[in-house]
């Protein structure tokens, strides 16, 4: 590793990343602070200070990221939570779409290969993801503070917390649970069938949501051998081909 001094651009990039870690700071705030530091660097270099030195001093003058973030949080304490909530909701939406698309994609191969009820496999995937994410989150909640851990366990704690404090962990757990419930109630079958451009039929008769729900729980999971997939009028050709090919 070289011991050369970081250039002004490198220092600014590192500094901006350290600010990004604080949810209290909005993009506008970051841009404004960065404009300030850049102006300060320009002013100092105009007086003859080397650029790297000017950057270091401008960054020092602007104050510690944690202190700046705390000041912003003082006048608007809810901004962190508003931001995290927004991010989490976005995560849930993206996760839902991704899992639905994946479930749709996995559906046909699963049926073709196994000729056995796909839903059970998916149920297990949802359950395992939900439980794994919740274990991560609970683990992070009960993890003792870093200071009380032996050195060799700090790395483990850090890795665990890193995984558990990402918004997508909670988002995945929520989506997996939601999908598990949908799957269990038989709704996902219909959503997936609709997306695939087919009508869900049983012994030649179209299966309605109500009909599925009114059935006893065990019968709600339709046995694939019992079922035909009929192309819906107006369905897209490539989906028809996929369905016809199974």
Partner 1 sequence: MVSKDLVAASSRPMILGILAQGENYGYEIIRRVRELSDGELEWTDGMLYPVLRRLEADGLIVSEWRVSDAGRRRRYYQINGDGAEALATERKQWRAVHGTLEKVWGPA
Region from 23-31, 86-94, 152-160, 205-213 binding partner 1, contact rule CB under 8 A: 23-31
**How near is the Cβ of 80 to partner 1 at its closest, in Å?**
14
Region from 64-72, 181-189, 202-210, 225-233 binding partner 1, contact rule CB under 8 A: 64-72
**How near is the Cβ of 211 to partner 1 at its closest, in Å?**
55
**How near is the Cβ of 81 to partner 1 at its closest, in Å?**
17
61 touches partner 1 (CB under 8 A): yes
7 touches partner 1 (CB under 8 A): no
Region from 28-36, 161-169, 173-181, 215-223 binding partner 1, contact rule CB under 8 A: 28-36
Of residues 9 and 97, the one with the C-beta less far from partner 1 = 9
22 touches partner 1 (CB under 8 A): no
77 touches partner 1 (CB under 8 A): no
List, as one string, the DSSP characters of 119-132.
HHHHHHHHHHHHHH
Of residues 70 and 97, the one with the C-beta less far from partner 1 = 70
Q: What separation in angstroms does the CA of 209 have from each of 118, 149, 161, 185?
A: 18, 53, 42, 10
80 touches partner 1 (CB under 8 A): no
21 touches partner 1 (CB under 8 A): no
The b/e string for 189-219 (b: 16+ C-beta within 10 A; e otherwise) is bbebbeebbbbbbeeeeebeeeebeeeeeee
66 touches partner 1 (CB under 8 A): no
Among 35, 94, 121, 156, the residue binding partner 1 under the rule CB under 8 A is 35
Nearest to 72 by CA among 112, 25, 23: 25
Interface residues with partner 1 (CB under 8 A)? 28-29, 31-33, 35-36, 38-40, 43, 61-63, 67-68, 71-72, 74-76
């Amino acid at each position: 590793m070289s011991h050369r001094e970081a250039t002004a651009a490198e220092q600014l990039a590192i500094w901006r990343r350290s600010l990004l870690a604080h949810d209290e700071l909005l993009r506008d705030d970051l841009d404004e602070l960065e404009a300030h530091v850049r102006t300060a660097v320009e002013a100092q270099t105009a007086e003859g200070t080397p650029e790297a030195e000017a950057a270091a001093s401008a960054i020092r003058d602007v104050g510690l990221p944690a202190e700046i973030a705390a000041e912003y949080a003082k006048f608007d304490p809810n901004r962190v939570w508003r931001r995290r909530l927004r991010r989490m909701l976005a995560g849930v939406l993206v996760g839902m779409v991704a899992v639905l698309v994946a479930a749709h994609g996995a559906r046909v191969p699963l049926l073709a290969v196994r000729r056995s009820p796909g839903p059970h496999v998916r149920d297990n995937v949802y359950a395992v993801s939900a439980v794994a994410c919740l274990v991560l989150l609970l683990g992070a909640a009960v993890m003792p503070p870093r200071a009380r851990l032996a050195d060799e366990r700090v790395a483990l704690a850090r890795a665990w917390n890193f995984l558990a404090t990402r918004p997508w962990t909670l988002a995945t757990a929520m989506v997996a649970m939601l999908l598990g419930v949908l799957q269990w109630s038989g709704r996902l079958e219909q959503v997936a069938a609709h997306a695939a451009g087919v009508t869900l039929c049983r012994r030649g008769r179209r299966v309605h949501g109500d009909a599925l729900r009114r059935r006893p729980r065990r019968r709600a999971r339709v046995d694939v051998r019992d079922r035909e997939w009929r192309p819906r009028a107006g369905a897209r050709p490539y989906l028809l081909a996929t369905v016809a090919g199974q």
